[in-house]
Amino acid sequence: MAEGQLSDKQLIEALLRERDELYRRATKAEHRLAELSDAEAMRQQYEARIKEKDNEISQMKADHQKRLSKMDDEYKKVLSKKEDEYRQVLSKKEDEIRSLVARIEYMARKLWGKMSEKRQTPDDPRQLKLDFEGMGLTDEEKRQIENAARKVAEARKVKVKEHEKQLPVRKKLPENLRRVEEHIYPEGYIGHEDEWILFEATETSEHLEITAPDAYVRVTIRHKAMRKADNQIVTAPVPAEPLAKSYAGPTVLTELTIGKFADHLPFYRQIEMYKRLGIELKQPTIEGWFFGIADLMRPMYYRLQEYMLRLDYLQSDESTVPVINNEKHRTVKGYMWLIRAVMEPLVLFHYHDGSRGKEVALEFFKDFKGALGVDGYGVYDLLDKLDGIMILCCWAHCRRYFDRALNHDRKRAEHGIEQIGLIYSVETIADEEGASYERRAQLRQELAYPIIRGLEAWALNEQEAVMPKSPIGKALGYLLGHIRQLSRYTTDGRYQIDNNFIENSVRPLALGRKNYLFCGNHDAAEDAAIIYTFMGCCKLAQVDVRKWLNYFFTHIHDYDEDYSRDLLELLPHNLKQKGIL
């Protein structure tokens, strides 16, 4: 075998090795091919899953968008509702702010400004000419209104006197006061009178002095005696004291009553005052005395109420009084009614569980027949519908509404006040004439009534141009809503144009409210109404309340057994007419 040639065995081994290498490569290739087939399946599987997830995400996005859209709609609805509620609250708050501003302006004027509601009418009557356009008045009515306004304006013209500055002059001390003389001599005169010549001429000066009240104990000693004719032993009778089984005499009850209801001093202050006199009084004792005082006055109070409701002309008003509510453990607002007899010096305070509801008014005035002067309180509108009662409204209340509207609608408010001023000027004209009731009624019908008609026509014309809840709207509404009751005073010269006099009668109650703060309960408030009644009668009759109380406490028991005597005899003005007070 030549060198370089392979033997058969070697060739076969080489071929086997080559075939084996090829086989391994083929097997490896098959394995790789199988792996590639599995990867493609996995790829397709993953792509399917990715596509499924994409679909799920798209669905979730769509659902989320729907929810967002729904939430957005709901939010818009809630926001719209809240905006409406906010506008309502804002409108309400703005009304409250306007009301509070008006009250603050009123209180500021009351504290620091002028409270007069009068306005000067222009001197030139031509300036008073109304614009009658659209008022629905006849030519004759227009002429009457202009003539009445002109006559009233001319009558109001007065000459103003030049003010003369007056120097202050010390007033003399009252002549009825007791004089206690104090003699002062030159130094060295006393003890050496024989060395001096004393002149009759003297220099005198007076100074006012006040000593503390004189408290003493009145000891009543009842003697016994035997008549010789029949040997009968007789003891002096027991005098009737104001309060049974009490050591309080008439003067003590008088001073305590004056302190509480005239000087408006609460009990604890009076107790301290009496301590300085060496007298120890307990508050429960004083309270018990006041219950007794009210019980003494109660029969006379009911008799006065019966008498007043038979009169044909009264005025009525209400005022607040704080009363303790034991269930709520705080004070609540109670109302006390005030009824005044215009033609007689009589006044009556009425308290009924602190209420001023329609039931109280209907029950109290159920037997009254006549004219009743009131303010604009709505309960009185019910009385106006009853047979026999004629309601007269107050022009001062009407003017007050226009006065409060000055800062909001000055032009209309000033016009209303000027016209009401002309109506009041008719009363001034009647006063200066000293007019009788018949003459006063004639002046009112000739001068005041045409002006009232013109004012009504003007208010009707202006009402549509203003907001009803604005200050000027309320003024016009009050005027038009009560125009019939406001104009009725012109029918009788006795009827007063306003309720100012009865409002002044409420002032003692207001002063007491500020000082002793509250009444302990409804019974205490009713007792206070009884006592205030007779204090008010003393004031109207111009009777010294101390003298009247002393006389009342001393003589009230004279009427216990004698039913033929009328308790009205003890009223202050009746005792004054008899010369007793």
pLDDT tens digit string along 471-527?
Answer: 999 999 999 999 999 999 999 999 999 988 776 655 555 554 544 445 657 788 899
Whole-angstrom Cα distance, residue 170 to residue 185? 26
pLDDT range class, residue 331, cuts 50, 70, 90: low
Instruction: Tell me: pLDDT of 21 over 70.
Output: yes
Give 319's strand partners. 336
Cα-Cα-Cα-Cα dihedral sign, residues 428, 432, 437, 443: negative
Q: What is the dihedral of CA 362, 368, 370, 371, to 10 degrees?
A: -40
Residues 6+ apart with CB under 8 A from 379: 356, 357, 358, 361
CA-based radius of gyration for the chain: 49
pLDDT, tens only, 206-249:
888 888 778 889 898 989 888 888 888 888 888 889 998 899 99
Question: Which tops the pLDDT comparison, 311 or 205?
Answer: 311
- The residues, ordered by sequence, that sit 6+ positions from 450 with a Cβ below 8 Å of its Cβ are 141, 144, 145, 147, 148, 149
> What value, to the nearest 5°, has the Cα angle with vertex 430 and ends 426 and 434?
170
Nearest Cα to Cα of residue 341 among 497, 552, 536: 536
CB under 8 Å to 386, separation ≥6 — which residues? Answer: 365
Instruction: Give the per-residue pLDDT at 298.
Output: 96
Distance from C-alpha of 392 to C-alpha of 496, rounded to nearest angstrom:
9
Residue 305 — φ and ψ, nearest 5°? -60, -45
CA gap 214, 524 in Å, rounded: 30
The secondary structure of 146-195 as a DSSP string is HHHHHHHHHHH--PPPPPPP----PPPPPTTSPP-------TT-TT-GGG
Query: Residue 393 and residue 118: Cα distance in Å, rounded?
Result: 19
Q: Which of 65-74, 208-217, 365-374 has the highest mean pLDDT?
A: 365-374
Give the best-scoring range by mean pLDDT among 5-9, 95-99, 187-191, 325-329.
187-191
Assign 393 a pLDDT band (cuts: 50, 70, 90): very high
Rounded to whole angstroms, how far apart are CA atoms 389 and 368? 7
Question: How far, in Å, are 50, 219, 416, 430, 460 from residue 91 at the CA level?
Answer: 59, 73, 28, 48, 27
Q: Decide: 398 and 474 in contact? Cβ < 8 Å.
A: no
State mean pLDDT over 143-163.
68
How would you list the strands of the sheet with 330-341, edge to edge?
A: 346-351, 330-341, 313-325, 370-374, 389-393
Other CB atoms within a 10 A radius of the CB of residue 122 amount to 10
Look up residue 289 and give its two tokens: 């005395």
Over residues 99-110, mean pLDDT? 68
List 493's β-bridge partners, or say none: none
Mean pLDDT of the chain: 83
Under 8 Å between Cβ of 335 and 319: yes
Query: Is the pTM higher than 0.85?
Result: no
* pLDDT exceeds cutoff 90 at 399: yes
CA pair distance 239, 222, nearest whole angstrom: 9
Question: What gap in Å lies between CA 96 and CA 559, rounded to an integer?
Answer: 57
- Which of 16-25, 75-84, 126-135, 222-231 has the lowest average pLDDT? 126-135
Other beta carbons within 10 Å of 511? 14
Higher pLDDT, 110 or 24: 24
**Contact (CB, 8 A) for 554 and 250:** yes
Q: Which residues pair with 532 in a beta bridge?
A: none
Neighbours of 430 (CB within 10 A): 21
What percent of the chain is modeled with pLDDT above 90? 36
Is pLDDT above 80 for 308?
yes
pLDDT value of position 330: 61
Tokens linked to 45: 């599987």
pLDDT at 6: 62
pLDDT in tens, 402-445: 998 988 899 999 999 999 999 999 999 999 989 999 999 999 99
Number of neighbouring beta carbons within 10 Å of residue 192:
8
Residue 560 token pair: 């216990």
- Name the phi and psi angles at 235, rounded to 5: -105, 140
The token pair at 463 is 């009402």
Q: Which of 558, 530, 110, 504 is nearest to 317 (CA)?
A: 504
Instruction: Tell me the two tokens of residue 580.
Output: 């007793």
Q: Report, as an integer, the average pLDDT of 188-200.
A: 87
The tally of CA atoms less than 13 A away on the side-chain side of residue 467 is: 7
User: Looking at the DSSP assignment, which residues form a beta bridge with residue 334?
Assistant: 321
Q: Which two tokens stand for residue 347?
A: 């006044």
